[in-house]
Structure 1
Amino acid sequence: MPQCSAKGCRADAVWVLAWNNPKLHTPERRKTWLACDEHREHLSKFLGVRGFLKDVVRLEDWEESTADG
């Protein structure tokens, strides 16, 4: 099972935070961080205040959508 991207966290990931840095990435590019329930809001805010956060999706839904593509 994938783990949360928060520093020091070993919990199972439940969420995918899709983001990009417009200074480095093309608009359609999506980088991802994984988050457990506890760290989803903190990681979302970290990316959001920088204008990087594009989407927050449940991991199972993300895996289904990327398997189709």
Structure 2
Amino acid sequence: MFILFFIVFAVAYLFIMNSMTNKFVTQREVPDEKQPKVFNTINILVTILLISSYVELLLAA
């Protein structure tokens, strides 16, 4: 049950972060050739954050 909840939370969190990144890129008028790099960097960092949070919660339980 916990795994399912965490997966749903992670997907929702990634979606929210991507929409915020899109607003940031649009507002700052980042060139089109740099936009994929910005999205990739933020997605990788958020994924690392989610994985480390999951591992921490598993070890704490």
TM-score, L = length of structure 1: 0.29
Higher relative contact order (CA 8 A, sep 6+): 2
Given the two structures, how large is their TM-score scaled by the length of structure 2?
0.32
Which structure dedicates a bigger proportion of its chain to strand?
1
Please say which structure displays the higher CA radius of gyration. Answer: 2
More helix, by proportion: 2
